[in-house]
């Protein structure tokens, strides 16, 4: 790696941008301060108020690309609700539950039913952002609570969309399904309307605008009983991509496996990132992966650190993604105080965790795309549809899906055995790329329903060419009978899977579980997926069926393990899982730098125990080994200059934090000069030369405006 980053000067909207790439970002509601200047490429300014222009200028003056984010379903929009915007109060736009209670996000901030007047208000904020100079906007978290749907505004929307009077969702499974389907459609339409307006307005000013949707994963929204457009947004030309809002707070949701419900943060994060990645991988749109070193819930710093490492590792196991939101709210992280075990008073972030975190986020500025895959079996897909959000609330006729177990029952038995399963979205089945690399597709209509018969045709065509479907489910939940395409307009199927099996040419009989279909195979297991995980040791038969189907495709590499391993350029990413028959540790026997250790030690051997993750810089795979380079650092590097016997650069990171870096040099430096941006002397410098690796460990106090480093050797 010749350079951690390259200083590129260009003029953009009348200002200077120091980092021309757009790999990394953070969102911030505050003006620039040196204590939390993390030196990513993009500062996403959150919220539109009277301070926006000053906030915009404060970050622009520091060389940032400036973009704009606000909520589409909630926000500090008191001026709209209280009547300051247009002279009318709009609390009747709030989402309302069956008791008639408003669902609040904060004081005077309800979750919103997106009416015409509300979207006019959102457009006014977007217009101001474009007028200020932003070239990308983010409308985050299009969220409609499953428990909502009782307001007059929603009833009017129901009448308009369905053409018949509103029915309370608690009255029947059909009413629940239709209610959720409408909620999904309302925010699909809202985003399309606002983004289309924004692009047209920007175009009139000669600006090419990009529009993104920061969103939780489909899994998280379903688990939290929220409805959102998710994968269907791929059909909107105005949507350029997403931010995958995955972090400790979403990934720690407890799930069942082997009869036990508990947090499984790494596994859940891996699935959440995969769910959003599959929304864009076949559509070629852009996705940023988000992590958060802390979370909204109050936990201890040790808890934050442990789970942050798990989610950070999970995101890196997707080598086709190399754009990241490195953190939300850096002011909360650097200036906030949270519990520490054994201490009564809240504490700020420790110097050690701050340094470690900065090493991690700065590595993302240089994280390469890779054609490598996570080690192990590939080509096992899990089918998902947005309708997984439609049956979560309320409960009808005893139907229950605790902790989304009808999904996790298909996934965790494979993931826990070291199989990096892939998500496939029903909404994307018409795109050839969506099934290109899949050998076996596991699916069920126990927890979701197909959105069209056209998807079944795509599946049938794929199976006839050699694909394998493993269909799980008793098809006995009450949502099988809702009025939908499979039982209306001339169709008379009792359950939607009947149409799937018809198109596959399969006549399902109870005594048989394996059926031929062209060159492919269909397995039908009449068990609901939740039965595999809510009781111990119930998943072996399912795993063996997947194995049999996988080998029917001609694959001969079925191997089970307890870890995931990936190489991306010089980086090595490892996670070793618990709850596996294999309880051994993973051992890597070659020189690496431990990037989860703020002191960046060089290890000849790295041992990763079950339940742990590792993020390593492999010295044997380092590019540019013959010329000086900063290999890893708790600061962003620019202004690099390499001469015959010297190497100099500038390091920037939040003021008051401690920098730690490994610098590759051809020889031990004879002279080390470290000064502040204004030429002042820097005290408390630590430098240690490692002859074997030819690397220098440098540690000193960071400054947001930069530390100048000069190294000379004979």
DSSP string, 315-383: HHT-TT---EEEEE-HHHHHH-EE--TT-SS-EEPPHHHHHHHHHHHHHHTTPPP-S---SS---EEEE
Residue 502 CB burial class (10 angstroms; 0-12, 13-18, ≥19)? middle
Asked if pLDDT for residue 632 goes beyond 80, the answer is yes
Residue with tokens 């931010």: 243
Q: What integer pLDDT is reported at residue 624 of this predicted model?
A: 59
Asked if pLDDT for residue 330 goes beyond 50, the answer is yes
Residue 244 Cα distances to 219, 372, 413, angstroms: 12, 22, 25
As a whole-number percent, the residues of the chain with pLDDT over 70 amount to: 97
Q: Are 245 and 141 in contact (CB under 8 A)?
A: yes
**Cβ neighbours, 10 Å, residue 608:** 18
Longest CA pairwise span in the chain (Å): 86
Topology (CATH) of 380-552: Rossmann fold (3.40.50)
Q: What integer pLDDT is reported at residue 167 of this predicted model?
A: 98
- Global pTM reads 0.95
DSSP class of 296 = S
CATH of 629-712, one of 3.40.50.300, 2.60.220.10, 3.40.470.10, 3.40.50.1370: 2.60.220.10
Distance of CA 137 to the CA centre of its chain: 18
Residue 341 CB burial class (10 angstroms; 0-12, 13-18, ≥19)? exposed
What is the mean pLDDT of the segment spanning 407-436?
95
Q: Structure tokens of 613?
A: 């993750």
pLDDT grade, residue 623 (50/70/90)?
Answer: low
Asked if pLDDT for residue 5 goes beyond 60, the answer is no
Residue 625 CB burial class (10 angstroms; 0-12, 13-18, ≥19)? middle
pLDDT digits (tens, 9 = 90+) for 242-253: 999 999 999 999
Q: Where are the domains of the chain?
A: 380-552, 563-621, 629-712
Q: What integer pLDDT is reported at residue 349 of this predicted model?
A: 97
Cβ-Cβ contacts under 8 Å for 188 (sequence gap 6 or more): 229, 232, 233, 236
User: Could you give the CA distance from residue 576 to residue 582 in angstroms, rounded to a whole number?
Assistant: 10
User: Could you give the CA distance from residue 292 to residue 294 in angstroms, rounded to a whole number?
Assistant: 5
Q: What integer pLDDT is reported at residue 284 of this predicted model?
A: 82
**Phi and psi, residue 320, nearest 5°:** -90, 5
Minimal CA–CA distance to 646: which of 670, 678, 619, 677? 670
DSSP H or E run through 676: strand 671-676
**Cβ neighbours, 10 Å, residue 530:** 25
Q: What integer pLDDT is reported at residue 521 of this predicted model?
A: 98
Asked if pLDDT for residue 11 goes beyond 70, the answer is no
Q: Are 130 and 207 in contact (CB under 8 A)?
A: yes
pLDDT digits (tens, 9 = 90+) for 387-407: 999 999 998 988 899 999 999
Domains 380-552 and 629-712 share a fold: no
Residue 306 Cα distances to 254, 274, 323, angstroms: 16, 21, 23
Strands 24-28 and 324-328: parallel
Residue 605 CB burial class (10 angstroms; 0-12, 13-18, ≥19)? exposed
- As a whole number, the mean pLDDT across the chain is 94
pLDDT grade, residue 238 (50/70/90)?
Answer: very high
Asked if pLDDT for residue 234 goes beyond 90, the answer is no
Asked if pLDDT for residue 263 goes beyond 50, the answer is yes
Q: What integer pLDDT is reported at residue 6 of this predicted model?
A: 35
Residue 430 Cα distances to 426, 468, 585, 612, 636, angstroms: 8, 18, 42, 39, 43
DSSP H or E run through 411: helix 405-415
User: Strands of 658-664's sheet, edge to edge?
Assistant: 629-633, 658-664, 695-701, 686-690
pLDDT grade, residue 20 (50/70/90)?
Answer: low
pLDDT grade, residue 8 (50/70/90)?
Answer: very low
User: Could you give the CA distance from residue 686 to residue 681 in angstroms, rounded to a whole number?
Assistant: 14
Q: Are 327 and 38 in contact (CB under 8 A)?
A: yes
pLDDT grade, residue 610 (50/70/90)?
Answer: very high
User: Could you give the CA distance from residue 580 to residue 483 in angstroms, rounded to a whole number?
Assistant: 43
pLDDT grade, residue 682 (50/70/90)?
Answer: confident
Q: Are 52 and 60 in contact (CB under 8 A)?
A: no
Q: Structure tokens of 35?
A: 């204590």
pLDDT digits (tens, 9 = 90+) for 502-515: 999 999 998 899 99
What is the mean pLDDT of the segment spanning 481-495?
96
Q: What integer pLDDT is reported at residue 282 of this predicted model?
A: 80
Q: Structure tokens of 609?
A: 């125990």
Q: What integer pLDDT is reported at residue 558 of this predicted model?
A: 96
User: Could you give the CA distance from residue 203 to residue 197 in angstroms, rounded to a whole number?
Assistant: 10
Q: What integer pLDDT is reported at residue 231 of this predicted model?
A: 86
User: Could you give the CA distance from residue 689 to residue 680 in angstroms, rounded to a whole number?
Assistant: 25
Q: Quick check: helix, strand or coil at residue 412?
A: helix
Asked if pLDDT for residue 12 goes beyond 80, the answer is no
Q: What integer pLDDT is reported at residue 580 of this predicted model?
A: 96
Q: What integer pLDDT is reported at residue 679 of this predicted model?
A: 78
Asked if pLDDT for residue 99 goes beyond 90, the answer is yes
SS3 labels along 607-662: EECCCCEEEEEEHHHCCCCCCCEEEEECCEEEEEEEECCEEEEEEECCCCCEEEEE
pLDDT grade, residue 18 (50/70/90)?
Answer: very low
Q: What integer pLDDT is reported at residue 625 of this predicted model?
A: 65
**Phi and psi, residue 457, nearest 5°:** -65, -40
């Amino acid at each position: 790696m010749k350079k951690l980053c390259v200083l590129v000067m260009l003029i953009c909207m009348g200002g200077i941008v120091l980092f021309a790439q757009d790999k990394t970002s953070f969102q911030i509601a505050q003006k620039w301060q040196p204590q939390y200047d993390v030196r990513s490429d993009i500062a996403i300014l959150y919220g539109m108020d009277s301070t926006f222009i000053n906030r915009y200028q404060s970050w622009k003056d520091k060389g940032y690309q400036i973009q704009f984010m606000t909520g589409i379903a909630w926000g500090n929009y008191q001026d709209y609700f209280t009547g300051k915007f247009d002279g009318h109060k709009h609390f009747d736009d709030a989402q309302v539950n069956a008791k008639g209670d408003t669902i609040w996000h904060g004081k005077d901030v309800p979750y919103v039913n997106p009416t015409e007047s509300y979207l006019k208000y959102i457009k006014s904020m977007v217009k101001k952002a474009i007028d200020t100079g932003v070239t990308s906007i983010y409308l985050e978290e299009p969220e409609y609570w499953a428990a909502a749907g009782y307001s007059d505004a929603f009833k009017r929307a129901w009448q308009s969309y369905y053409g018949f009077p509103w029915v309370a969702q608690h009255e029947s499974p059909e009413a629940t399904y239709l209610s959720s389907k409408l909620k999904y459609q309302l925010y699909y339409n809202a985003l399309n309307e606002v983004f289309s307006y924004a692009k047209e307005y920007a175009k009139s000013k000669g600006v090419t605008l990009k529009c993104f949707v920061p969103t939780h994963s489909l899994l998280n929204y379903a688990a939290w009983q929220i409805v959102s457009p998710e994968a269907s947004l791929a059909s909107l030309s105005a949507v350029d991509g997403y931010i995958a809002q995955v972090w400790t707070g979403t990934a720690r949701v407890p799930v069942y496996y082997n009869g036990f419900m508990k947090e499984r943060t790494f596994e859940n994060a891996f699935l959440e990132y995969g769910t959003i990645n599959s929304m864009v991988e076949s559509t070629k749109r852009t996705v940023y992966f988000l992590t958060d070193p802390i979370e909204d819930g109050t936990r201890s710093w040790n808890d934050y650190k442990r789970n942050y490492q798990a989610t950070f590792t999970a995101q890196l196991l997707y080598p086709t993604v190399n754009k990241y939101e490195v953190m939300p709210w850096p002011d909360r992280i650097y200036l906030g105080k949270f519990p520490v075990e054994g201490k009564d008073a809240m504490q700020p972030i420790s110097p050690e965790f701050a340094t470690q975190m900065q090493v991690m986020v700065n590595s993302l500025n240089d994280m390469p795309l890779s054609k490598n895959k996570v080690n192990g079996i590939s080509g096992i897909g899990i089918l998902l549809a947005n309708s997984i959000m439609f049956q979560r609330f309320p409960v009808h006729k005893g139907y229950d899906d605790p902790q989304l177990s009808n999904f996790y029952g298909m996934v965790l038995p494979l993931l826990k055995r070291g199989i990096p399963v892939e998500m496939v979205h029903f909404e994307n089945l018409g795109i050839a790329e969506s099934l290109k690399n899949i050998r076996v597709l596991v699916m069920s209509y126990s927890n979701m329903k197909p959105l069209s018969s056209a998807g079944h045709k795509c599946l049938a065509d794929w199976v006839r060419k050699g694909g394998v479907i493993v269909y799980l489910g008793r098809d006995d939940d009450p949502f099988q009978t809702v009025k939908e395409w499979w039982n209306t307009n001339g169709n008379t199927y009792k359950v939607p899977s009947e149409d799937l099996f018809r198109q596959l040419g399969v006549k399902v009989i109870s005594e048989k579980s394996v059926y031929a279909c062209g060159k492919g195979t269909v397995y039908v297991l009449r068990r609901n997926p939740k039965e595999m995980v809510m009781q111990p040791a119930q998943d072996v038969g399912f795993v063996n069926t997947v194995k049999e189907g996988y080998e029917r495709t001609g694959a001969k590499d079925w191997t089970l393990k307890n870890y995931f391993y990936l190489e991306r350029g010089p980086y090595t990413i490892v996670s070793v899982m618990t709850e596996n028959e294999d309880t051994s540790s993973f051992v890597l026997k070659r020189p690496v730098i431990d990037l989860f250790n703020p002191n960046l030690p060089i290890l000849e051997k790295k041992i990763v125990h079950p339940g742990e993750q590792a993020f390593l810089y492999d010295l044997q795979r380092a590019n540019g080994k013959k010329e000086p380079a900063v290999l890893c650092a708790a600061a962003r590097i620019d202004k690099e200059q390499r001469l015959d016997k010297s190497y100099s650069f500038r390091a920037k990171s939040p003021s008051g934090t401690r920098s730690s870096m490994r610098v590759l040099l051809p020889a031990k430096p004879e002279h080390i000069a470290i000064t502040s941006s204004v030429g002042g002397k820097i005290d408390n410098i630590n430098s240690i030369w490692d002859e074997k690796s030819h690397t220098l460990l440098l540690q000193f106090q960071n400054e947001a405006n930069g530390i100048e480093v000069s190294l000379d050797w004979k």
